[in-house]
């Protein structure tokens, strides 16, 4: 079992920045690639970003590429999502999730492959 706890969400004006954190406990953190997803009201949960188990490779949705940065610190069992140039359409509940590192990286974009999920943290961007 892996327990994931997100933090760092809040209310920010358009153009502002936030950094989300996701602290993991339980099984060895480096056994998993990590992803961030988000879900806006009335919409499907969508992929935002993912990072390989080592932190060496990152993946982004087109909508956030160039504005968001995912990173991880295996010594702290924590994954981060730095969000810059925030837009009102970034408003959503953000979730971190863990997928076994043995899975192909091409699967990281799909929420169904992730085994563990956090409870989510709300991000609201005002215009």
* Whether residue 1 has pLDDT greater than 90: no
CA angle 72, 43, 46 (to 5 degrees): 25
Helix (H) or strand (E) holding 80: strand 78-83
Mean pLDDT for the stretch of residues 7-32? 96
* Whether residue 26 has pLDDT greater than 90: no
Mean pLDDT for the stretch of residues 57-77? 97
Mean pLDDT for the stretch of residues 44-64? 97
Contact indicator for 50, 108 with CB cutoff of 8 Å = yes
Structure tokens at 17: 């920045």
Taking phi over 0 as left and psi of -120 to 50 as alpha, with beta for the rest, 40 belongs to beta
């Amino acid at each position: 079992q892996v327990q994931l706890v997100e933090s760092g969400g809040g209310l920010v004006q358009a153009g502002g920045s936030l950094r989300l954190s996701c602290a993991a406990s339980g099984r060895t953190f480096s056994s998993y690639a990590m992803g961030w997803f988000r879900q806006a009201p009335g919409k499907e949960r969508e992929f935002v970003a993912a990072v390989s188990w080592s932190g060496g490779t990152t993946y982004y949705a087109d909508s956030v590429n160039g504005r968001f940065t995912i990173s991880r610190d295996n010594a702290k069992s924590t994954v981060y999502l730095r969000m810059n140039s925030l837009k009102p359409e970034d408003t959503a509940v953000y979730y971190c999730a863990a997928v076994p590192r043995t899975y192909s990286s091409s699967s990281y974009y799909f929420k169904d492959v992730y085994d563990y999920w956090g409870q989510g943290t709300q991000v609201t961007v005002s215009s």
